[in-house]
Structure formats: structure tokens, C-alpha cells
Amino acid sequence: MTPADLSLTVQHAVRRAVDDGALRVDVPSRVKVERARPGGTGEYASNVALGLARSAGRTPLDVAGILQERLRDSPGILAVDITGPGFLNFTLRADAGGDLVRAIRGAGSRYGHGTALAGTVVRFADVTEPRASVVTDVVLRLLRGQGADADFGGDERIPVRGGAYQPGLLGVDAARWALLRAATHDRVLDGAPLLVQHERNSLFRVRYAHARVRRLVANAAQLGFAPSYETDIHAPELLGVLGDHPFVLLAAARHRAPDRVARHLEATADALLAFQHTVLPLGDEKPSAAHRSRLALAEAAGTVLAGGLSLLGISAPDQI
């Protein structure tokens, strides 16, 4: 189960409670689910009960209990606990990683796209300032990826601190990263370090991580095995950032903030590079279900990196 799936599952539980007459509230169009914080239980948490309590005329704990009853047996959920004033905490089943990997493989580069902004109409003003033009281009892609009707022909402008676009000097990829990686109110990145192939170069790290996945898949093929998620893999950091990807894309669209995507790609690359040493058999090891599953997880991370870079208008080479 992905976080997006969990959000939809909780929303459906609210709808069932309303249909049953247990709650008299408007069903929210979206339920926020986030990683559980220190002191909580499980892997994910939601404050939906606190948000519904006033309109329901019930205490948050009452609302949480009503939803808990309707969530206990949901596929992919192992346990639902109530903590604090009414937070719902979720422990996912052991095969949740498999659900996530299969969801990414099924969606491909469109993993994280959705319909959360369907019905939203956005019209941007035409802009000529170089950085504003690049930022607006990416925000249009993000909005459309969430189902919004987004285009030019209006008067909305994204507040952007100006900056030079230098594809002739830096190449298109580095030039775009320099403008997009920094928050729109911050100064653009210095372009020269983005041309150096070093781990301190955030763009290089992201693109290298993608290329590393392609090499792992090729090396595995030479050893006679292919990606296939068959057994649970303990990789909480990597699974966590992959599961967060849909929320990051939606937040980046809502807040007109492409830098959120760039920072998330860095986090994904770092988690992948820390994990990738476990993928291939070592020494006399024979390829096993664990190796095939780790390779499938790495491949999913590569898919997320490629899709995110594509949204930013940046290439994801198979070799660096």
C-alpha cells in the first residue's frame, strides 16, 4: 500500500461512516497522511479525526474510534492505533513494500501523478524573465500532472527572484537545475559547480543514482536474474521517500514550488545510493529472491528519479 492508497483508504472510511450515519460531516476531498513522528506508533499518521470533530459535533477521540472500526480490516493495513487527542496511526502489512514497487512499476514515469486538482483552473500570465519562464513551465507540468486545467492566458504570476538562464554555458540540464533547485525567493545556484562530477554536486548525484540503477539492472541480467519483488526488504529510508513522492508532487503543484521536487529527488538519490550496495550477489552468492526484490526496489527508485527529472525538464541518462 502506498501513502496515496492509504490516504484514499481513510477517505473511503470517512465516506462509509457518513453513509452509515455514524458521522454527519462533509467527506473531505483529500485526507492528509504523513510519516509518523517520533513518539507515535506505526509508519504513517493522520489528523483527519481532529479536523472532522467540530463539524461532527463529537470529540476527536470519538471520531477516531469510528474511523478505526472501519479501517481495521482494510487490505494493506496491519494495525490502526489511536494516539494523543485523536491521531490515527497506521502500521502497514509486511508486503507494503511490494505494493509500492508494483504501483511504481505499473505507473512508470507517471507515478505520483493523479487527479487531486481535477476541476481546478489555473491561468498564468505570459512571462519573459528567464527564471520565471522556466519555473512557470515546470509548475504547469506539475499542475497538469495532478489533473488541473493549467495554461497561459491569465494574470497569475509566480513570485520569482530573477536569475540568468545559461544553457549555452552550462548545458540545458545544469542551467535548469541552477534555476529550479533553489526556492523561488532565493538566489539561483552557482552554475560552475554543477558541471563537476562530484558527490557535492546535487545534480550529478541525482543523475548518477539513476545511471547506477540502469547499470545494476544490466549487471543482474549478466548474472541471470531480473527485477521481481518477491520478499519483504528492509529499506525504510528508500521505501519512505518513494512512498512520499506523490505527496511531494502534489505539494509542489499547490505551492508553485519546483524546488520541492528537486530536493526530494536528492533525498531519493541519497537513499538509493546508500542501498545499492546490497543489490547484487557478492562473492560466491547465488542470486536469490532477496536479490531480485532489492533489484526491483532499486529499479523503482530509478523510475521515480527519471520521472521527477522529466517534470523538471532535465534528462536522466543511462550512463554517466
Mean pLDDT for all residues in the chain: 93
Q: What is the pLDDT of residue 84?
A: 92
* Spatial distance between the Cα atoms of 269 and 109, rounded to a whole number of angstroms: 16
Q: What is the pLDDT of residue 79?
A: 93
Cell 547499470: give the residue: 215
Architecture of the domain defined by 198-311: Orthogonal Bundle (1.10)
Q: Which residues of 153-182 are buried (b: 16+ CB within 10 A; e: fewer)?
A: eeeeebebeebebbeeebeebbbbbbbbbb
CB count within 10 Å of CB 94 equals 10
Q: What is the pLDDT of residue 5?
A: 80
Instruction: Name residues whose C-beta falls within 8 Å of residue 6's C-beta, 6 or more positions apart in sequence.
Output: 33, 44, 76, 77, 90, 92
Q: What is the pLDDT of residue 158?
A: 97
Cell 476531498: give the residue: 29
Q: How far is CA 287 from the centre of its chain?
A: 30
Domain boundaries, the chain: 3-93, 121-195, 198-311
* Spatial distance between the Cα atoms of 208 and 190, rounded to a whole number of angstroms: 20
* Spatial distance between the Cα atoms of 162 and 156, rounded to a whole number of angstroms: 17
Please report, as a single letter, which amino acid is at residue 266. Answer: E
198-311 has the same fold as 3-93? no
What is the pLDDT tens value at each position of the chain, 320 positions in all?
Answer: 778 888 888 998 998 899 878 999 999 988 999 988 776 788 899 999 999 999 999 999 999 999 999 998 776 789 999 999 999 999 988 777 888 899 999 999 999 999 989 999 999 999 999 999 999 999 999 999 999 999 999 999 999 999 999 999 999 999 999 999 999 999 999 999 999 999 999 999 999 999 999 999 999 999 999 999 999 888 878 988 898 898 889 889 999 999 999 999 999 999 999 999 999 999 999 999 999 999 999 999 999 999 999 999 999 999 98
Class of domain 3-93: alpha beta
Radius of gyration of the chain (CA): 21
Is residue 187 within a helix (H) or strand (E), and if so which, with residue range? Answer: none
Q: State the sign of the Cα–Cα–Cα–Cα dihedral 71, 19, 112, 255.
A: negative
CA 297-223-280 angle, to 5 degrees, is 40
Share of the chain above pLDDT 70, in %: 99
Contact call for residues 251 and 313 (beta carbons, < 8 A)? no
Q: What is the pLDDT of residue 72?
A: 83
Q: What is the pLDDT of residue 2?
A: 77
CA 104-244-114 angle, to 5 degrees, is 60
